[in-house]
Amino acid sequence: MGKRMKSKGILPGFGLTIGYTLVYLSLLVLIPLSILFLQTASMTWEQFWLTVTDQRVLASFQVSFLTAFFAACMNAVFGVLVAWVLVRYHFPGKRFIDGIVDLPFALPTAVAGIALASIYSENGWIGQLFAAWGMKIAYTPVGIFVALTFIGLPFVVRTVQPVLQDWDRQVEEAAATLGASRLQTFLRVILPHLLPAILTGFALAFARALGEYGSVVFISGNMPFQTEIVPLLIMTKLEQFDYTGATAIASVMLVASFFMLLVINFFQWKTNKLDAGR
Amino acid sequence: MSIEICGISKSYGSFTALRDVQLEIPTGQLVALLGPSGSGKTTLLRLIAGLEPADSGQVFFNGEDHTHRDVRERGVGFVFQHYALFRHMDIFDNIAFGLTVRPRKQRPTKAEIKERVHSLLRLVQLEGLAHRYPSQLSGGQRQRVALARALAVEPKFLLLDEPFGALDAKVRQELRRWLRRLHEKLGLTIVFVTHDQEEALELADRVVVMNEGRVEQTGSPQEVYNNPSNPFVYSFLGRVNFFRGRIADGKVKLGEAEFAVDWASEDDNVPAVGYVRPHDVDVSRSPQYPQSVAAELIYVYNLGSVVRLELRRMDTGEIFEAEMSRRRFAELSLQSGDLLYVHLKHVAFYVGGHLIHA
Amino acid sequence: MTDTSEPGYVRWLLIAVALIFMGLFLVVPLIAVFSEAFSEGIGLFLQAVKEPDTLSAVKLTLLTAAISVPANVVFGVAAAWAIAKFSFRGKNLLLTLIDLPFAVSPVISGLIFVLLFGTQGVLGPWLAAHDIKIIFAVPGIVLATTFVTFPFVARELIPVMEAQGKDEEEAAISLGASGWQTFWRITLPNIKWGLLYGVILCNARAMGEFGAVSVVSGHIRGMTNTLPLHVEILYNEYQFVAAFAAATLLAVLALVTLVLKSLIEWKTEGQQRENEAMPEIIREASA
């Protein structure tokens, strides 16, 4: 690596910029991240296994994965709907809606957390509507689901929107001239084309939801075995100075995240491949 | 199946795409809609298919009013300029699509669909490619898949939007011939849009020349080429020289040359334009006719079988072109700068856009 | 409308469902922040905002952003130059590595710095011996924030620079410009909107980061409390008005971020439309 990498053309600065990039990347990201695995590797296998298969840890993994999964599903369905409405229809306030889709990216998670907790608590604006039906949202897994849906909302919208925008309307016209109904055209022609983008957005939302901390801690109630998510458990272990436990759980999470990154890259590659074949 | 367009108009905001278009397309013909960009030809094609609603006017198929029928009910085959193939389906599924979306009762069985798709693949000479994806095919192959897909639903007629526009010259030539043979074989009415006059003249039984949302002329390729009904058609079909002159006493004066015409108007000294095709310009070393005019040879273009000369008239200074065979060119042994005499064998005169007979 | 569009009632139904979804999940929470902050009147709100602990949290938040954003801008520009203007092996791997911090949970982002610099960490004894404090101090907060916001600028710039190609830069070099002149006078004007976009997103996250900072800060009031952490402390002490008052400052930051972001998007879209205007008109007209 470094200077021996081939650089063609007459533009200068390759050595400098790639060198700086690699040094900065290594110092800030790669070395700190590898410490986590080094620390994990210094544990015995038994120690590691006992830590990560502890009942409370397993329960938190279950809570995290299930809520993140359902929230990502919710976002996949409504993300496609919002992207569709924004690309295809005209209605008052469209620009406002388009702009506010990114609110979860811009609003600090702690603010989102306390806002959602206050709205969905039993006497909050929305919480009391559900409370009338005997349903609790805040301080239950449903509350976690609500917070994770908020956090993941922009991902599917923003991955599907450009694909829909660039979509050749003539393909729909072709389906119509061949006798397909509107629903058939959507299900058999448009949806398969959007699928890689939807899956990319889904995976991004899922990955983000898995690691989310700030918006969840306020609304979840943080009850071990019930509403305790993995990042919170890591936090708790740290506060008890159980660094080994925190590190072991974190390394499992990190592996899951890297796996998601692979999945996301795969779907993105698929989206690009479809685009190339136009 | 015949198509009849009655008084169709269509505009997009302030842009008028079609103005009171009147057109009849008889059964079984191969018809070209020819015109420059923005002439309304694609809009007209989309209107026939039902992809675009008309502002006013009617569309009849075989005498039956289809103006308000949905695109799905019209049963036309449409081939899009960029083919609009379904990228996530293989070729087989693309062609079968129109059959598989039918309501269950009208849907052919799986075996029948398979049979139909394979016979269409044979027809478009793409056997063996059934399980390729559109991205794996060449432009010409995609075009043929699009055709097969449109034919699969047994359409009443075929509409093609710039069918060869996106292909390179050699493939375009092959596909033209192939389409011609396909038309003979199927006997289907085919309407295609093109901006390429050579393509229209070579391929079509009938050419519909369009400009600025109007039909300028309809006729066989010979008719529209030999007897253009107005200056637009004259200049749009093939290369043409025009000379500005004046009409007086039943004669048109183009510089020193005079031509007797059938001009019975009171007005004298009216501006007139004479149109001459380059191959109707006769070139010689000495004046052969009383109406010959002197011209200087500026440049010689060698085009293979013919030679094109760029000349400047000595009397008016107008630049024009003449074409001759290689043989004639060799006989005359011409060189740039030579002083020559030209005779205009066939001139069409227009006054205010109307043809004046000689 | 043509035949390839849905009937009116379907359209309005879809719009209505989308709007309700967006309203419930985005608009209502945003309104709630302001409504709670002002629920006891403007006096209490102002009092909460002017509290010294809040002000010192604002200061620390600004300081953190002022260090981590420029650091990531320099990195982003350098990485984008190397990746977009040159071809080399391992480029895709590098792109994936740059994305890594996005995939890491904020809590883990904090944890890795605790493992490195904490008292029990790898470098802990050495740091203690030299009396350098990183964890539970400002340097730790800056480090964790820089890690979390690491990819933003690079991620925005790389596609923009790739789309620009390198023709213009090569032309400038061939006309005798130096590398720096080429960068300042050719590249930078071309990427300025993309750069600004990346800076805005990077800044929003830097000022709002909670999880990672929470791990490394130690929550020392008036010392290592950033604004988001301050919101949490107030909320957990049941000082709701004060918590939401501090939260409004961050919510306003978010709204400003969104407005700037939209403005840049409209601006760049407008430029694109101008460039494509002619063929578009011809295509739509007919032909």
Instruction: Please give the full DSSP string across C118-131, using - where no structure is assigned.
Output: STTSTTHHHHHHTT
Side chain identity at residue B293, one-letter code? V
Beta bridge partners of B320: B311
Task: Round to whole Å and give the CA distance between A150 and B31.
Answer: 58
Residue C171 covered by a domain: yes
Residues C178 and C99 placed together within one structural domain of the fold: yes
* C242 CA to centre of own chain: 25
Residues A21-55: b if buried by 16+ CB within 10 A, e if exposed: bbebbeebbeebbebbeebbeebeeeebeebbeee
Which of the other chains make 3 or more beta carbon contacts under 8 angstroms with chain C? A, B
**CATH value at residue C215:** 1.10.3720.10
Q: Residue B74: its chain A contacts at CB < 8 A?
A: 177
Residue C120 covered by a domain: yes
* Residue B170 predicted with pLDDT over 90: no
- By C-alpha distance, which of B347, B354, B326, B353 is closest to B241? B347
Give how far C281 is from chain B: nearest CA, Å.
9
The encoded tokens of residue C185 equal: 């006078």
Q: Residue B37: its chain C contacts at CB < 8 A?
A: 282, 285-287
Number of domains in chain C: 2
Whole-number average pLDDT of chain B: 90
Residues C240 and C196 placed together within one structural domain of the fold: yes
Tokens 């001459």 — which residue?
Answer: B276
Residues C29 and C97 placed together within one structural domain of the fold: no
Residues C118-128: b if buried by 16+ CB within 10 A, e if exposed: beebeebeebe
Q: What letter does residue A136 receive in the DSSP assignment?
A: -
Instruction: Tell me if A166 sits within 8 A of A222, measured CB to CB.
Output: no
B219 inside 8 A of chain C by CB: no
- Rounded mean pLDDT, B233-244: 88
- Rounded mean pLDDT, A103-131: 93
- In three-state secondary structure terms, A152 is helix
User: Residues 2 to 41 of C: which have CB under 8 A from any A CB?
Assistant: 2-6, 11, 14-15, 17-19, 21-22, 24-30, 32-33, 36
Residue C17 covered by a domain: yes
* Tens digit of pLDDT at every position of chain C (287 positions): 445 678 889 999 999 999 999 999 999 999 999 999 998 888 888 988 898 999 999 999 999 999 999 999 999 999 999 999 999 999 989 998 999 998 899 999 999 999 999 888 889 899 989 999 999 999 999 999 999 999 999 999 999 999 888 889 988 888 888 889 999 999 999 999 999 999 999 999 999 999 999 999 877 776 788 999 999 999 999 999 999 999 999 999 999 999 999 999 888 887 776 665 444 333 443 33
Side chain identity at residue A85, one-letter code? V
Residues C32 and C159 placed together within one structural domain of the fold: no
Using CA atoms, how far residue B115 sits from B75, B92, B122, B186, C47, in Å, is: 21, 11, 11, 18, 81
B71 inside 8 A of chain A by CB: yes
Q: What is the pLDDT of residues A204-244, one digit of tens each?
A: 999 999 999 999 999 998 888 999 999 999 999 988 889 89
* A130 CA to centre of own chain: 27
Nearest CA in chain B to A170: B84
Task: Round to whole Å and give the CA distance between B291 and B270.
Answer: 21
- pLDDT at residue C4, as a whole number: 63
Residue among B42, B50, B70 minimizing CB distance to C286:
B42
Residue B64, C-beta contacts closer than 8 angstroms, at least 6 positions apart: none
- pLDDT at residue B20, as a whole number: 93
Residue C3 covered by a domain: no
The encoded tokens of residue A223 equal: 């009850």
Q: What are phi and psi of B356, to 5 degrees?
A: -110, 125
B50 inside 8 A of chain C by CB: yes
> With the C-alpha atoms ordered C127, C128, C130, C135, is the resulting torsion angle positive or negative?
positive
* Residue B268 predicted with pLDDT over 80: no
For an interface test with B, give the residue of A178, A188, A194 to mutate (most B CBs within 10 A): A178
Q: What letter does residue B58 receive in the DSSP assignment?
A: E
- pLDDT at residue A1, as a whole number: 39
Using CA atoms, how far residue B239 sits from B198, C226, C249, in Å, is: 11, 77, 72
Nearest CA in chain B to A191: B88
A168 inside 8 A of chain C by CB: no
Residue C286 covered by a domain: no
Q: What is the pLDDT of residues B108-167, one digit of tens each?
A: 999 999 999 999 999 999 999 999 999 999 999 999 999 999 999 999 899 999 998 878
Instruction: Tell me if B157 sits within 8 A of B188, measured CB to CB.
Output: yes
pLDDT band at A10 (very low <50, low <70, confident <90, very high): confident
- In three-state secondary structure terms, A21 is helix
Residues C27 and C71 placed together within one structural domain of the fold: no
Task: Round to whole Å and give the CA distance between B99 and B103.
Answer: 9
Q: Provide Rg for chain B, Cα atoms.
A: 25
Task: Round to whole Å and give the CA distance between B71 and B281.
Answer: 50
Helix pair angle (A55-88, A191-211), 10° resolution: 140
* B324 CA to centre of own chain: 25
Which domain range does residue C213 map to?
Answer: 41-274
Task: Round to whole Å and give the CA distance between B187 and B50.
Answer: 23
Side chain identity at residue B117, one-letter code? V
Contact A178 B149 (CB under 8 A): yes
Residue C281 covered by a domain: no
Residue C125 covered by a domain: yes
Residues C27 and C74 placed together within one structural domain of the fold: no
* Residue A83 predicted with pLDDT over 80: yes
Give how far C264 is from chain A: nearest CA, Å.
11
- Rounded mean pLDDT, A154-162: 95
Which of the other chains make 3 or more beta carbon contacts under 8 angstroms with chain A? B, C
Instruction: Tell me if C231 sits within 8 A of C246, measured CB to CB.
Output: yes
Residues C16 and C115 placed together within one structural domain of the fold: no
Contact B150 A276 (CB under 8 A): no
- By C-alpha distance, which of B348, B347, B350, B346 is closest to B270? B350
Residues C111 and C198 placed together within one structural domain of the fold: yes
Instruction: Tell me if B293 sits within 8 A of B315, measured CB to CB.
Output: yes
Residues C184 and C223 placed together within one structural domain of the fold: yes
Residues C166 and C250 placed together within one structural domain of the fold: yes
Q: How many C-beta atoms lie closer than 10 Å to residue A225's C-beta?
A: 12
Task: Round to whole Å and give the CA distance between A236 and B301.
Answer: 87
What HEC string does B159-214 produce?
EEECCCCCCCHHHHHHHHHHHHHHHHHHCCEEEEEECCHHHHHHHCCEEEEEECCE
The encoded tokens of residue B342 equal: 């030209």
Residue C282 covered by a domain: no
Q: What letter does residue A189 receive in the DSSP assignment?
A: I
Percent of the residues in chain A that have a pLDDT greater than 70, as a whole number: 95
Give how far A66 is from chain C: nearest CA, Å.
17
Residues C114 and C50 placed together within one structural domain of the fold: yes
Residues C31 and C60 placed together within one structural domain of the fold: no
Nearest CA in chain B to C5: B51
Residue among A184, A276, A278 minimizing CB distance to B101:
A184
Q: What is the pLDDT of residues B173-203, one digit of tens each?
A: 888 988 999 899 988 999 999 999 889 999 9
Contact C14 A85 (CB under 8 A): yes
The encoded tokens of residue C203 equal: 């800044």
